[in-house]
Amino acid sequence: MTVSKLVLFSFRSILRNRMRSLLTSLGIIIGVGSVIVMVAVGEGSQQQIQKQIASMGTNLLMVLPPRGPQSANRISLEDVKKLRAESSYLSAISGVTRSSFKVVGLSSYYSTTVQGVEPDYLTIKEWSMREGDFFTDADVSSRNKVAVLGQTVADQLFPHQDVLGQEIRIGTTPFKVIGLLSKKGATGMGDDQDDVVMVPLDTALYRLSRSKYLNSIEMSVVRSDFMDQAQTEVESIMKEAHRIGVGETEDFNVMNQSQIIATASQTSKTLTALLAAIAGVSLVVGGIGIMNIMLVSVTERTREIGIRMALGARKRDILFQFLSESVILSLIGGFIGIGLAFILAWVLTAFMATPAVIDPAVILASVGFAMAVGIFFGFYPARKAAGLYPIDALRYE
């Protein structure tokens, strides 16, 4: 029997029981659609995380304190000065402190993060001013009590008002607002970057936190292809500054943007794989459904099988006919599932603000898996049909 005739006979058999065929393919439809949507949402989330982390700065390097409750923070202004003086790969550098404070405005207060930074911080973060000016090196060295507000803080303290020239109180210290940052949005971890007040670094250290240690040092590398060399150089300078010998444990961590993205994306990837695996169970369940219906079909068509064998059909003709019906049923379910996945992805992206990016490779893999399910679960019924004896099949009532 030719392939064209085989496919034609299979479609005729499937179309004789349209509703049963559709219900048989339901498990494959749900399985394929679910897998594609889950992977699409995961891919979209990872791209969103990468985009949001990229918004944190370009060619970013960070020096952080060591992790763990027993680890002491020794990152200081002296480290910033040494890196600025000796590094050949950095285009901008800023020490950073972060503390939570209650900030008081004219008639309201708001708890937020107060960051002590240096003028290069805006360059590192690719952040611009919406109104006013950022503070200068002179403000930092003179420990001036000036502040720049993020949009969220400005909306909370001075709704529908001009923030420039306003006075706020951070803790018990008064500050003059000299600028308003442009809106930045959330980070890849969901933190609101606009929920911040920025003050000169030395002012934060000596007037607010009263500590000589920094939460981090953030740097921008001159070019992306120098990231590895820059990280190696920063580690070397920091070891020299902290007098860390060969084999001794470092009291700092240096992370680049790629490591930050990889760390943030790992949870998303793991969750996506887990959800896709759970959705994949539907494909197995759908395959079992196809096998059951094909076994019923063999029983119903036993006399037809006997007549075909009596007229000269070989066992392999019967085998391939039932196997092709199983594969076609599975593929029909797969293609309907793909269409359903595109609709769901569009709904999630348009109405629920959940990014869903469908990868063509996932579609091809889903079609291939649907075909494999049809072959695997259709083989036993097809073999059973091909193994019938013609005389017994003809006598079957």
Model pLDDT for residues 240-287, shown as the tens digit of each residue: 998 888 778 888 888 886 666 666 566 667 767 776 777 677 777 777
Model confidence at 317: pLDDT above 90: no
* pLDDT attached to residue 20: 74
108 within some domain: yes
57 within some domain: no
120 within some domain: yes
Residue that wins the pLDDT comparison between 148 and 248: 148
In percent, how much of the chain has pLDDT > 70? 81
Residues 128 and 44 in one domain: no
Residues 22 and 84 in one domain: no
Band (57; pLDDT cuts 50, 70, 90): low
Residue that wins the pLDDT comparison between 162 and 257: 162
Residues 200 and 230 in one domain: yes
> How far apart, in whole angstroms, are the C-alpha atoms of residue 189 and residue 209?
26
Final residue of a domain: which of 203, 221, 251? 251
Kindly report which listed range (150-159, 237-246, 369-378) carries the lowest average pLDDT score.
369-378
Residues 307 and 370 in one domain: yes
Query: How many domains does the chain contain in total?
Result: 2
Q: What is the mean pLDDT of residues 62-70?
A: 78
Phi, psi values for residue 389, rounded to 5°: -85, 135
* pLDDT attached to residue 94: 94
Residues 229 and 358 in one domain: no
Band (290; pLDDT cuts 50, 70, 90): confident
| Ramachandran quadrant class, 372 (left: phi over 0; alpha: psi -120 to 50; beta: rest) | alpha
Residues 147 and 15 in one domain: no
Band (199; pLDDT cuts 50, 70, 90): very high
Structural domain of residue 129, as residue ranges? 66-251
* pLDDT attached to residue 302: 67
Residues 177 and 288 in one domain: no
Residues 101 and 226 in one domain: yes
76 within some domain: yes
Model confidence at 183: pLDDT above 70: yes
Final residue of a domain: which of 220, 251, 282? 251
Final residue of a domain: which of 251, 278, 293? 251
* pLDDT attached to residue 138: 94
DSSP class of 224: G
Residues 47 and 112 in one domain: no
Residues 119 and 161 in one domain: yes
Band (79; pLDDT cuts 50, 70, 90): very high
59 within some domain: no
Axis-axis angle for helices 360-386, 26-54 (nearest 10): 160
Enter the pTM of the model. Answer: 0.60
257 within some domain: no
260 within some domain: no
Residues 147 and 12 in one domain: no
Kindly report which listed range (57-61, 146-150, 299-303) carries the lowest average pLDDT score.
299-303
Residues 88 and 215 in one domain: yes
* pLDDT attached to residue 1: 55
176 within some domain: yes
Buried b / exposed e over 231-248, threshold 16 CB at 10 Å, is bebbbebbbebbeeeeee
Model confidence at 289: pLDDT above 60: yes
Kindly report which listed range (6-15, 46-55, 159-168) carries the lowest average pLDDT score.
46-55
* Token duo for residue 312: 């000269």
